[in-house]
Structure formats: C-alpha cells, structure tokens
Amino acid sequence: MRFQPNTTFLVTGGAGFIGSNLCEAILAQGLFVRCLDNFSTGKRDNIADLENHPRFELIDGDIRDSETCVKACENIDFVLHQAAWGSVPRSIEMPLAYEEINIRGTLNMLQAARECKVRKFVYASSSSVYGDSPQLPKVEGNEGKLLSPYAVTKHVNEEYAAQYTAHYGLETYGLRYFNVFGRRQDPEGPYAAVIPKFISTLLQDAAPVINGDGKQSRDFTYIENVVDANLKACLASSEYAGHTFNIAYGEQITLLSMYETLCKLLGKNIAPVFGQPRAGDILHSLADISKARKMGYSPMFDFAKGIAQCVEWYKSNL
C-alpha cells in the first residue's frame, strides 16, 4: 500500500480497540493521523505511546457535536470512522443513546467530511445488519430482519453513506466487520467481547460463561485484517464508492472450538459454565469476502494465526 508522504488521516474513535490499531498502523507508514475521541469507551492508555509522536494529533471531542466534527475533518484526506457504541445487549437496554451516538454522530461526520471535501470516507459497519437471515455464507445484498437497535444503527449508517455518495459525491466505503479480536480489546465490563473476556477469566484460573450451548459459530476476524481493509478501502477504485463489504477471514469457528483453542494456548484445563443465550444474538455467522477481495482486501491472518498472537499479547499485558 502506497500513500503520498503528505497524506492525512482522521480516525474517529481513535483511542478505542480498532481505532488505536489504525492510528498505530498509519504512523508506521510515516503518515499523519488525527484522532477524535471523547473517551466514553476508548482509553487513553491505548494511545499513550502515540501522543508525543510528531505526526499524531488528538482532539478530545464528541461526534454528536457537529462543530467538532468539522474541525476534525479540516485538511484531512481520508476519514476512518470507527466511533460508535458497540454491544447488542447494551443497545437493547439503551436504544436512545445508540440513536444519538451511532446514527446522528455518523451523520454529523458524513456532513463534515462533505463540507471539508474529504477524499474518501471509510466507516465501520457490522455483520449484525444480516439479522435473522439463515443464509451462509453472508453475502452483501441478502440481509434479513434486524435483531437489535445496534443492528438498526449500522443499517441506517449504510443507507446514509450511500445517500452521501449518490447526492453529494462523497466517496463512502462501508466495512461490515465480523467479530473482530486482537490486542487492546477491552476484557472488562458486562459488555466485553467474548475472546478477551475468556482470556482474562482463564488467566485468573476461573471458568468463563458461554451464553447458550456453545455450538453457535462466528467468523472471528483478527485486527490486522481489519487494519488492512481500512487502508485498502482508501486506495480502492471509485467504482466501489457507496458500497458495503464483508470484512472477515471467511472461516466458521464455534464458540466451543474457540474456547478449546484458548485453553490449549494458555495451558488451562477448565470446563466452561453455560448460561442463557443473549437476546438479539445470531446463531451462526460466516462471511463471503469475494466482493471485498475485488475492492483490494486480502486477509493474511486466519483464526489460528491471529489467536496465537492475541493470546501472547494478553499474557504480557494483563
């Protein structure tokens, strides 16, 4: 991937799990990155090693404020919009907050990018937009009934982005992430993602709780693949503007299989506890990534390679 030396990036949610990894990767290419985060879910620790970098700039601000969004987009070539609230269960508890942050916040960012003449707007969508569709693998254009307010917000984001491409010429690229995992993903709290939460629990010699019978499956996607997808989208042909793309590896792993792998890597022999299924969760997820490959995406990390690196990071940092 080659960018001009004076290329500038804005990463919203840049102090979060995915955002901080994007900031780090951009700086590693010798380029400028501006981070916008209000630290509602992001952590200053995630960007502590970046804050004194001469090509890094931090704006402590909220995407719900339109003036902040415009300020953040000034003199920016590429926006990588990651700022959002995740978690299906929390969205069911707090639908109004999700509308304000995920929908209005994204609309503010789209408008700011348009006004500041940003070259491309790459944004985080989610596999949750497939809802109850039983089709496997998941293919863009074959979605089902949405199962949570979180999924609704991501669907609306995609619709607004397509409108901004169609009516205002802003090149938008939606990345439907499938169960991303990797370094700096928060293992704490009631809404923590399953992999870091399991690793943290096992490192404490405790038994993690699997919601449901563990036979549900996911297309677990290592963070390096997601970073690659964002940067490839910035270099993608304009013919793909206004489109959405599945970002995954294309590999189906059950929760039980994932758990067994973690136990082997950590040298643990602890039986899990089985709890009730979570409201709004889908049973199975597997991505068809052929469209993303045409856009330029080429994942290098399968689950086995990614989880091995992930476990080593948590062993050194928890």
- What pTM was computed for the model? 0.96
Query: pLDDT by residue (tens digit) across 33-42?
Result: 999 999 999 9
Positions annotated as catalytic residues are: 150
pLDDT at residue 173, as a whole number = 98
List the chain domain ranges: 8-178+222-250+287-300
By CB atoms closer than 10 A (0-12, 13-18, 19+), residue 289 is buried
Number of CB atoms found within 10 A of residue 304's CB: 12
Task: Tell me the pLDDT tens digit for each residue of 171-181.
Answer: 999 999 999 99
Burial class (CB in 10 A: 0-12, 13-18, 19+), 67: exposed
d(C-alpha 75, C-alpha 131), whole Å: 38
Residue in this structure with the two tokens 């070259």, named with its chain if needed: 119
DSSP state letter for 240: G
9: left (phi over 0), alpha (psi -120 to 50) or beta: beta
- For domain 8-178+222-250+287-300, which architecture applies? 3-Layer(aba) Sandwich (3.40)
CA angle 15, 297, 256 (to 5 degrees): 70
Q: What is the pLDDT of residue 279?
A: 78
Distance CA 30, CA 7 (A): 9
The tokens for 243 are: 């489109």
pLDDT in tens, 105-159: 999 999 999 999 999 999 999 999 999 999 999 999 999 999 999 999 999 999 9
pLDDT in tens, 62-119: 999 999 999 999 999 999 999 999 999 999 999 999 999 999 999 999 999 999 999 9
